[in-house]
Every structure is written in structure tokens, then in C-alpha cells.
Amino acid sequence: MTSTLRRMAVAALLSTITIVQAATPYSIDSISAIKDSAKTLAYDLVLYYNGNETGQTPGILPGPPPAGPYYWWEAGAMWGTLIDYWHLTGDSTYNDLVMEAMMWQTGPNADYMPPNVTASLGNDDQGFWGMSAMLAAEVNFPNPPDDKPQWLALAQAVFNTQAEPGRHDATCNGGLRWQIPLANSGYNYKNSIANGCFFNLGARLARYTENKTYADWAESTWDWTTSVGFMDADYNIYDGAHVETNCTDINKAQFSYNSAVWLLGAAYMWNHTEEARWQSRVEGLLNRTISFFFPDGIAYEVACESHMSCTTDMLSYKGYLHRWMATTAQIAPYTHERIMAVLQTSTQAAINQCTGGDDGRTCGFQWSSGAFGGSVGAGQTMNVLGAVSSLLIDETHGPLTNKTGGTSVGNPNAGSNSRDNPTEWAPLTTGDRVGAGFLTAFVLAGITGLFVFMSFGE
């Protein structure tokens, strides 16, 4: 595209955005406007949840396929979004709902491995629930009753189960596999998001507890990920590879939540150590995240958005991108100006397209289009809620530690009663196998689509 045509296209887009902005009911023009907008978005997000209704399962969104579109992990991510919402706005409307959900799904060993999700239980799935529990500890979300697992202990249990030798086999010289049970489709795949969640959680636990073991694990996970080529010298973070090839068949699809989870973890490591190498890594990750995932300053899911081939999972990534970048700006102050400037622009574009539905306030996914595109769901609404509420990051305290006011009770041995060997799971039921079959078809279709897309270049 010539420079003249590009200027014309941008001018047309801005014109469209201006028109849509007049119709959107949301505003980020003031603190009170941001809180009002976030309140409506939180209400609309919770409408997708029916786990508090009679006969439903607390803690999960409708699913997994074919029962509904959402896998177990996305509900864990949603509760984290609502914990952030409470922390940033002060609105406690959904706190009881979050508490019930987070407690219900801990599993019999309080490690976020409930048996009923075995057929699709990945290290990343468990990691998202663990990161939400860690967030609850960091922001002093109301503590569970004394007879229930505590937030910090839950995060430690997730970390400890993932640090077990059985999860880090010799294939590809180490690293976590995508799935936990060997019967699951994807057990032969090692990827950046599973290892990124583990790295992120280790960095945060290191800062919160000052226990060197967590920091050592974070260091070694970073080193492994770069050595295997999942993160390159330019801070591109690729999806993953198969153990049969010794992780040499790297799928070079890039997703925004990968960049965000590693960026936030690196920021925690810098905050914990104040070492120049971690600052350099934070800045390298931030530079690539902004240049790759924010064309024209607006969040864009490069791997799938242009053809709208995004899976239900991918339709929720922008919210984590905004939330984790905002926290990075808070705990690594040298990033603050750059991050908040781009988040402001991106969030404005996000609310501009929230004009769908009978209520005229439903949010879609394609923020840079300037218009509601018709793609709706929990992920799409969660994205905009995360973006809007994150603009309040400077209005409240940063993540706490056990020496700066954090009140959650920990247990360094949490998870010790869990099954050490990830292959030692109860026999799969017929329902489990049906679910695994659907998951296999879904994964194969997704990976095939991504490789087709990648053939067209970045």
C-alpha cells in the first residue's frame, strides 16, 4: 500500500470511529466515567455465567464443547478479571460469586486439578486458575473462610505440582508439556503459554514470599524457553513444538496472551531483583508486544483476526494483554508512560465498537474496525472490561507482598498430596473420551488453520 493510500485508509477509519463513538454508551473521559462503564461491562460479562443457578456447576462457563463453547480455563481467567475489577473500582458486587467459584473448582487436593476436567486439563489451564489465586493474594481480595484453601496456598499448590519432576521430562531438554494427563490430545506438545504461566507464577511467588526457589525456577524456565527457540532474540514468542521432533518443528504463530504473560513475569522479576538484565528483557518484550500486537495503537490478534478465524479461546486474549500490561506499568515504572498511552488509545477503540445488540452496548472483537462486527461472547466482553478497568491502575496500590500488607496465608508444601505422576489419573469415562475426541478435532483444525494463515506471512 502506498503512503497516500495508507493515509486515506487511516483517515477513513478515524472518521468511522468518530461516528461510532457518538453512539457508544461507554466513556473513558474521567475516573467516574471509567467506573460507570466498567460497572456495566462487568454486569454484561456475568450474564454469560450460569454456574450459580440451580442444577448448574459453580465456577465454570457453559462448556466444554459440545456442552458449550468455553473450556475450564477461561472461567478461571474470568474470575481473575473480576478480582481486578473489584481491586480497581472498589465495587464488591461480584465478590461472593468469585469466592464461590474459586473455591468450588479447587479440586479434592486444593491444587486446581478437579477430576471432572481431566479430559482437557493442561498446565496452562491449571496455571490460569493459579494466577487468579495469586492475584487475589496480591490485591488482598477478601480471604476465604478459615476452613477453606487460602489464596496464597492455592497459588503455591499450583506451582508446586507443576514443579514436580514428572512434569519436566527430558524431551526437548525439559520444559512443561501442554497437557497434564498423557491420554490427552496435546500431551506430546510443549508450548509457550504453559511454561509462561509457570514462569509468571514463579516470579510472583518469588516477589511475594522472597523464597529463592521460586526465582530459581523462573530463571530456569526463561532460560529453557529461549534455548529451545520458543522466544527468539527479538522477543517474538512462538506457540510451541512437538516432542517427537525434539521441539524443532516450532509453530511460529504468535498470540498476544503469550507476550503478555511473559512480559508481566519479567516485570515481576525486575521488581523483585532490580537487575539490569531483567529491565532489558522487560523493555525488549514491551517493544515487540507494542509493535506486533498494537498496529495503529489498537490491540489486534495477529494470528487470527484478519480472517476472523479466532477460536473461542483466542477471542479472550486482548483482555489479558491490557490487564497484564497495566500491571507491568505499575511495577516497572520505566514502562508506565509508553504502556498507558497505548492502552488509552486501544481502550477508546474498544468501547467505540460496543454498539451491538438490542441494548446498543454489546461489545465485539474487532476493535480497530471502528464498528461492531457481530462477534459476541464472554471473551469479547471480558476483553473490553479488562481494558476499561485497567485504566484505573494508577488509582490504587500495586501488588502487595507478605511484608507490604498482603494478608493471605500460604503453605510452601501445598500440593504435596496431589498426584505426583501426571499419568496416574483415574480411568477416563465415556463422557471424558467424547470430550477428548472433540478436543482432538478442535486442536487439529486450529493448528491446520494457523499454519495456512502463517503461509501468508506476518
pLDDT, mean of residues 310-326: 98
Closest CA to 136 of 87, 91, 75, 199: 87
Q: What is the model's pLDDT at position 419? A: 60
Lowest mean pLDDT across 109-113, 145-149, 439-443: 439-443
The CB-side HSE value for 379 (13 A sphere, CA atoms) comes to 23
- Confidence at residue 443, expressed as pLDDT on a 0 to 100 scale: 42
Written as nine digits, the cell of 388 is 476499561
Indicate whether 259 pLDDT > 50. yes
- ∠ CA 287-288-290, rounded to 5°: 70
405, 139 Cβ separation under 8 angstroms: no
| Residue 290: partners with Cβ closer than 8 Å, 6 or more residues away | 338, 342
The pairing of strands 240-242 and 189-191 is: antiparallel
The region of weakest confidence among 9-18, 83-92, 135-144 is 9-18
With a cut of 50, say whether residue 321 has pLDDT above it: yes
pLDDT, position 418: 79
Cβ atoms of 263 and 203 within 8 Å: the answer is no
* 90 CB-contact burial (10 Å; exposed 0-12 / middle 13-18 / buried 19+): exposed
Please give the mean pLDDT across all residues of the chain.
90
Task: Kindly tell me if the per-residue pLDDT of 1 is higher than 50.
Answer: no
Name the residue range of residue 194's domain.
Answer: 3-454
Closest listed residue to residue 176, CA positions, set 154, 201, 155: 201
Confidence of residue 17 (pLDDT cuts 50, 70, 90): very low
Comparison of pLDDT for 47 and 449, the residue scoring more: 47
Q: Which amino acid is at 63?
A: G
Q: What percent of the chain clears pLDDT 90, i.e. is strictly above it? A: 86
Looking at residue 445, its pLDDT comes to: 47
| Beta bridge partners of residue 274, listed in sequence order | none
- Could you tell me how many residues make up the chain? 458
What's the average model confidence in pLDDT over 147-159?
A: 98
Model confidence at 16: pLDDT above 80: no
State how many domains the chain has: 1
Q: What is the pLDDT of residues 83-137, one digit of tens each?
A: 999 999 999 999 999 999 999 999 999 999 999 999 999 999 999 999 999 999 9
Q: How far apart are CA 218 and CA 220, in angstroms?
A: 6
pTM value surpassing 0.85:
yes
When pLDDT is cut at 50, 70 and 90, the band that residue 23 belongs to is confident
CA-based torsion, 180, 181, 184, 186: positive or negative: positive
| CATH for 261 | 1.50.10.20
Mean pLDDT throughout 340-360? 97
Asked if residue 182 lies in contact with residue 221, where contact means CB atoms within 8 angstroms, the answer is: no
The mean per-residue pLDDT over the stretch 223-236 comes to 98
At residue 417, the pLDDT reads 82
* CA dihedral (209, 97, 356, 26) positive or negative: negative
Q: What is the DSSP string of 134-174?
A: HHHHHTT--PPPTTS--HHHHHHHHHHHHHSGGGS-SGGGS
d(CA 376, CA 372): 10
pLDDT at 429 over 80: no
Say whether pLDDT at 268 is over 90: yes
